[in-house]
Chain A
Amino acid sequence: MSGQSQTRRLSWAPFAAIPLLLLATAALQARIDVRTRSEAAQKEDLLLRSGPLARKLSLGYDALLADIYWTRAVQYYGSRIGTPHENFELLGPLLDISTTLDPQLIVAYRFGAIFLSEPKPIGAGRTDLAVNLVQRGIDANPDQWLLNYDLGFLYYWRLKDYPKAAEVYAAGGRKPHAPLIMTRMAARVAEKGGSIETSRMIFLELYESSKDRNVRKAAMKELRALKAQEDEEHLDEIIQQYRKRFGHYPASTKEMVAAGLLPGVPVDTVGFPYIIGPDGKSHLNPDSPVEPEPEP
């Protein structure tokens, strides 16, 4: 009987040992991680930087590998966004590999261009790489007018190359299923490139056509900034009228209202009143969340 119970105890021993051994290995791994984490951070690199080679080595599973690389690009971008010292060095190669593995991965061209072109610390600040990426997308997907829309935007907003932007929009407008707005944008950019009116048209179209929350949010931010820019230009004209009449600049917009030059205190899109600087120029209220357009 005692022999039997001893055997039973022995047969249970491995089951008791398994969780203990697992705990021990986990603890050991945690210690190894502490030692190797900083090294891993320093050595972070892409082992494979060639898209065509990755495609060959994928043994036919290139579509799945493209999804994995695209997810890695998103993670890479997400982990660095908002950190000014980051240079987004691997973002370009990651996007190149993703789109070489799957040239029809439209989402990688579209969002990749945003990641690359946004100024630091929101993006890599590499509009040149973004233009190359979207151009490759257009070459691989000649029927996708949306890529022309993105490329036109890059030329218009980031590079301020209005003739080129108009040309790209016009080319997109000739593609199958392209909406009429592409042709309208081409004409508007060719005629009045860089005007607030044209920029508003482009961002309004971006806001209305995009389903992505972040893109819509960014477009709304630009629309608010453009509205503020337009208001400031209008206010600056009235400030000059005030100066002609009273010989000095107004200290606030309330004085302009009192002088009968404004029907009420002008506010920005979120309700903050504009302020007037000593130089006689109107500005956004420092407390306002609306961000002004960067100086060209």
Chain B
Amino acid sequence: MSAMPGVVAINTFREAVRDRVLYNLIFFALMMMGAAIFVGQISIGIDRLVIVNLGLSAISLFGLVMAVFVGVGLVYKEIEKRTLYSLLAKPIRRWEFLAGKYAGLVLTLLVNTSLMTLGLAGALYYVGRPFVRSDVSILIAIYFILLELALITALALFFSCFSSPMLSTLFTLGIYMTGTFANDIRSFGDFTKNHVIQVGTRVVYYILPNFHNFNAIATAGHGGSVPFALVWQNTLYAALYVTLLLVAASAIFSRRNLK
């Protein structure tokens, strides 16, 4: 394997920084400061809980927006600007290009999430809360959010290989929303007495990426513990699904006629 995916990844990251994608951090910082100052005034007994819940939800939501809207343009922009042709003229295979693009956006999300995590820690420190051992669950919740974002990025990249940014956005968000309802889809099937529907919903349940798995925000908010088995199982699940999507994206992109 050549070093080309790494070069593409670094350039994708630089491009995101040039596009001021990380400016969302300013909004995040303002929101956390506002919450830290005002929540105690308008509610009872949930200062710390709101900081954790709001911080983790914002990390997830900002990351989701970034993963979808940047992700769907990763390949399309290169085709639109015709920069892809000069790139592919170099000794780089198409799948390497895709892998580099994917890694670049995941790196951007990693940097963004890390900085937001520091902001969250700062807000918790501001509300006068000492850091305790159970805060590991907050870090695990953030790790799960990163896994979720990696999966969404792979979805966005997959769709961007064969459709327009508008359609890719719709497909990605649609699958994300359906994926959060995965457990309900299975339950609906179980409610019916129809065997065909039951099998159908089961198949859909196992095919869809299950985003419900990655939600540990409430557990982290209450200082609960996340089982270690869930950490490695979620990691493996995300890795397998991302691999699947990148392989599928490479297969489509390699066969795509770019003329």
Contacts and interface: CB of A to CB of B under 8 A. Distances in A.
**A and B co-occur in one complex:** yes
Nearest to B211: A60
B43 A74 contact: yes
Interface stretch (B47-55, B96-104, B113-121, B164-172): B47-55
A70 interface: yes
Interface in A251-274: none
B222 A104 contact: yes
Contact of B44 (A63, A64, A74, A104): A74
Secondary structure class of chain A's binding surface, majority of residues: helix
Interface in A35-62: 56, 59-62
> Chain B: interface residue count, which band?
20 to 34
Interface string A147-175: 00000000000000000000000000000
Secondary structure class of chain B's binding surface, majority of residues: helix
A100 to B, nearest CB: 12
A53 to B, nearest CB: 11
A212 B181 CA distance: 39
Contacts of A110: 45
B181 A56 contact: yes
A71 interface: yes
B184 A56 contact: yes
Nearest to A101: B218
A111 interface: yes
Contacts of A66: 53, 218
A75 interface: yes
B180 A60 contact: yes
B43 A70 contact: yes
A107 interface: yes
A63 B61 contact: no
B180 A59 contact: yes
A232 interface: no
A70 B46 contact: yes
Interface string B43-81: 111100110011011001100000000000000000000
Interface of A: 56, 59-64, 66-67, 70-71, 74-75, 102, 104-105, 107, 110-111, 212
27 contacts: A56-B181, A56-B184, A59-B180, A60-B60, A60-B180, A60-B211, A60-B212, A60-B217, A61-B60, A62-B218, A63-B56, A63-B218, A64-B217, A67-B43, A67-B46, A67-B49, A70-B43, A74-B43, A74-B44, A104-B218, A105-B49, A107-B44, A107-B45, A107-B49, A110-B45, A111-B44, A111-B45
